[in-house]
Amino acid sequence: GAVVSQHPSRVICKSGTSVKIECRSLDFQATTMFWYRQFPKQSLMLMATSNEGSKATYEQGVEKDKFLINHASLTLSTLTVTSAHPEDSSFYICSARDDGQVYGYTFGSGTRLTVV
Amino acid sequence: AQTVTQSQPEMSVQEAETVTLSCTYDTSESDYYLFWYKQPPSRQMILVIRQEAYKQQNATENRFSVNFQKAAKSFSLKISDSQLGDAAMYFCALFGNEKLTFGTGTRLTIIP
């Protein structure tokens, strides 16, 4: 079946630094990928929709300058948390849509970000 | 805008028994999909079952089945013969207008 690799699974960084999270579709092409944020014991909140070769579409309230998204190829999207602060600590999950299916969304295993 | 509501934050069921998780939704789209996802402690999102809105027949996947009431905008999940491995957070989700919207989740506990 379709597999999405998300890396790293866990990262700790110092306040003020930047962190990059990768989301890679391993066996399918994904023109569209999605980034979610999940706080403890809460639901997944869509942050942005990433489209290959174009600018990402951010949801209302999400700072595009803080959460930089790059979707440079049909199999890779990256989320960079810039100038991270403790309040950015969260669980981030990506999802990739298989171009060959009507509905084919596969989730990555998530990244737990801790900013100290 | 589309919304998904899960009114049961927590549910518990005796092993081997049946449990039903509730979900209601709202959307202005005529073409949409509904899903139940399972999130175990590993946090990996696992697709349990899906339902195309244009299909009247309720979807079934082994021990998992749904009761899709389109007019009432209701989409409940029934788990039969509950097993210890079913313990997890369950999220109801709606895909419409190119977006996947999740409910707030129901934590399911299986009592041995």
B50 contact residues in A (CB cutoff 8 A) = 103
Instruction: Kindly state the tokens that stand for A57.
Output: 């579409």
Q: Is the pLDDT of residue A39 over 80?
A: yes
Q: Does B25 touch chain A (CB under 8 A)?
A: no
Please answer yes or no on whether B104 and A110 come within 8 Å at the CB atom.
no
Please answer yes or no on whether A107 and B45 come within 8 Å at the CB atom.
yes
Q: Is the pLDDT of residue A102 over 90?
A: no
Q: What's the CA gap between B97 and B14, in Å, rounded?
A: 39
Q: Is the pLDDT of residue B108 over 90?
A: yes
DSSP reduced 3-state for B85: helix
Q: What is the DSSP letter of A64?
A: T
A31 contact residues in B (CB cutoff 8 A) = none
Q: What is the pLDDT of residue B13?
A: 98
* Mean pLDDT of the residues in chain A: 93
Amino acid at A22: E
Q: What is the pLDDT of residue A101?
A: 80
Q: Does B82 touch chain A (CB under 8 A)?
A: no
Please answer yes or no on whether B44 and A110 come within 8 Å at the CB atom.
yes
List, as ranges, residues 30-69 from A with C-beta within 8 Å of B.
32, 34, 38, 42-46, 49
Cβ neighbour number for residue A15 with a 10 Å cutoff: 12
Question: Which residue among B44, B95, B102 places its CB closest to the CB of A103?
Answer: B95
Q: What's the CA gap between A75 and A89, in Å, rounded?
A: 26
Q: What is the pLDDT of residue A41?
A: 82
Q: Is the pLDDT of residue A103 over 80?
A: no
Q: Is the pLDDT of residue B67 over 90?
A: yes
Q: What is the pLDDT of residue B59?
A: 95
Q: What's the CA gap between A38 and A98, in Å, rounded?
A: 23
Question: Which residue among A43, A45, A95 places its CB closest to the CB of B105?
Answer: A43
For residue B20, list its beta bridge partners. Answer: B78
Taking residues B77-106, report their average pLDDT: 94
Q: What is the pLDDT of residue A104?
A: 76
Chain A with chain B: Cβ pairs closer than 8 A: 37
Q: Is the pLDDT of residue A105 over 90?
A: no
How does pLDDT run across A42-77, given as a tens digit for each residue?
899 999 999 998 899 999 999 999 999 999 899 999
Measure B67 CA to nearest chain A CA, in Å.
21
For residue B109, list its beta bridge partners. Answer: B12
Q: What is the pLDDT of residue A1?
A: 74
Cβ neighbour number for residue A57 with a 10 Å cutoff: 17
Q: What is the pLDDT of residue A69?
A: 95
How does pLDDT run across B34-52, given as a tens digit for each residue?
999 999 998 999 999 999 9
> Up-side HSE of residue B51: CA atoms within 13 Å toward CB?
25
Taking residues B69-88, report their average pLDDT: 97
Q: Is the pLDDT of residue A84 over 90?
A: yes
- Chain B residue nearest residue A43, CA to CA: B104
Q: Which of A71-80, B11-20, B74-83 has the lowest mean pLDDT?
A: A71-80
